[in-house]
Structure 1
Amino acid sequence: MSTREHGEIVSATGAGRVGFVDPADIAEVAVRALTDPTPHNTDHVITGPQALSYDEIAAVLTEVGGRPVRHRAIDAADLAVRHSANGIPPDFARFLASLDTAIASGAEDRTTSTVADVTGRPPRSFRDFCRDRLCGVGPTRVVGGR
């Protein structure tokens, strides 16, 4: 069930936070890693500029999208059942739910400087990403351009 259709994000993340990242930032780091004359010789952990909980994500979606969105926290077992009901095989559904449990425990509560280090500009915020996608405004990026 989608957030767009039901105005609800359902997760087992609790108050856990994630450094949500703009896909264009991922693409630009990848292009640079593949095309820079000097090899990067590292694993790039790419995040957005701030770690956000799903409650905060719902608040941004509500504000920017103009329609109410809420986060409903459930436990991992219930999330696995929801995933299975949506056609995901049970073992994989349990694995996906365990990722939410890891987020709830703080496993993804971080940000990195990777986008700025590789591209020379700060990563794009979740709010800006949403504003540009939901409102159809904002900068157009050329991936790989300097």
Structure 2
Amino acid sequence: MTDTGTTLVIGATGTTGSRTTAQLTAAGHRVRAAGRRAAPVAGAEPVTFDWYDPATHAAALDGIDRVYLVPPVGDVEPDAVMLPFLRLARAAGVRRAVLLSSSAVPEGGPAVGTVHQALPGLFEQWAVLRPSWFMQNFTGTHAHAASIRADGVIASATGSGRVGFVDAGDIAAVAVRALTDAQAPDTDLVLTGPEALGYDDIAAIITEVTGRTVTHRRLSYEQMRDRLTAQVPAEFAALLAGMDRAIAGGAEDRTTDTVHRLTGRPPRSFRALIKEEVRGGS
């Protein structure tokens, strides 16, 4: 790895941003941790940043060499705020950008896919991380985790479709490599865990490891869309329910060697994550 100057981590208190910040600072890299409130982050310089407040952008970018980009949550057209910021970042001297996207969103696709498509033309060094669905969706603040805690139920429209669920810590480890290696990947990277699991499998593993019965409630696309509309804007709810329907059709039934290839170690399994959660880890 090389000296990276200072890295701006956007979403530094979020699921992948917090872990990326922690791994960067642990390795001795200088980090500016950006969030809507400039909250202290161990080993990092906090800075206020809001995608929807351009007045916060220039100060966040001052002296920055590279940036980890977490798109605004729930925005189906994030390019409207992200592309002006990225042009400002390039003008401010940022040379490398690493974008968090999704395995479900190809280059030029909906939502952040447009930003993915623009990135190579904006920066001389870049990478797009396209992780599968997060294992932490079942343990953190996600709706699935809340439903498990409240009712012992995971509701989805995924049917018997399988997903290569990936640990957020493994995503962060790849992000660190993409940000700090001498040569950026200059490509998109599909990240998965070691195995593809259905939501029935997820429920069975949680039940076995924790001793608490958890079941998978299979919903139709329409039922899932309506359920999500109570939590997020209708357009975003339809997008998420559509992703479930794509999973049911086999769109996410795959695994890749990307985590192992870039970090030198195998990705963590879902069972290992749940066992650590039971022991009080994270």
Asked if these proteins are the same fold (TM beyond 0.5), I'd say yes
Deviation at 1:87, TM superposition (A): 3.2
Match of 1:45, SS?
strand
Aligned length: 137
1:3-29 Cα deviation digits (max 9, x unpaired): 111100000000001101111000000
Give CA deviations for 1:61-100 in whole Å, capped at 9, x if unaligned.
101111000001010001111112x332222211111110
- Measured in 2, the distance between the counterparts of 1:38 and 1:95 equals 35
How high is the TM-score relative to the length of structure 2? 0.47
> Does the residue aligned with 2:188 lie in a helix, a strand or coil?
coil
2:187 is aligned to 42
Runs of 4+ in structure 1 deviating by more than 6 angstroms, as ranges, are none
1:32 Cα deviation after fit? 0.6
| Structure with the larger RCO, 1 or 2 (CA within 8 Å, 6+ apart) | 1
Aligned match of 2:279: 135
Indicate yes or no: 2:149 matched with 1:13: no
Q: Select 2:167's aligned residue among 1, 4, 22.
A: 22
Aligned to 2:189, the other structure's residue is in SS state coil
Unaligned runs of 5+ in 2: 1-145
Q: Does 1:88 align with 2:232?
A: yes
Structure 1 unaligned segments of length 5 or more: list them: 141-146
Which of 253, 259, 262 is the equivalent residue of 1:118?
262
Write the letter of the residue equivalent to 1:92: F
Q: 2-side partners of 1:31 and 1:76: how far apart? A: 36
Q: Which residue matches 2:207?
A: 62
1:135 shift after superposition: 2.1
Quote the Cα distance in structure 2 between the aligned partners of 1:13 and 1:38: 38
User: Does 1:78 pair with 2:203?
Assistant: no
Alpha-carbon displacement from aligned partner over 1:29-56 (angstroms, at most 9, x marks no partner): 0001110112222211110000000000
d(CA) in 1 for partners of 2:184, 2:232: 39
Query: Which protein is richer in strand relative to its size?
Result: 2
RMSD: 1.4
The one-letter code matched in structure 1 to 2:263 is: T
Paired amino acid for 1:67 = R
**Structure 1 CA distance, aligned partners of 2:266 and 2:186?**
22
**TM, length-normalised to structure 1:** 0.89
Report the 3-state secondary structure (helix = DSSP H, G, I; strand = E; otherwise coil) of the residue aligned with 1:44. strand
Secondary structure class of the residue paired with 1:2: helix
SS in 2 for 1:115: helix
Who is 1:101 aligned against? 245
Change (3 A) 1:41 1:83: same
**Aligned with 1:48: secondary structure?**
coil
In the other structure, the counterpart of 1:144 is: none
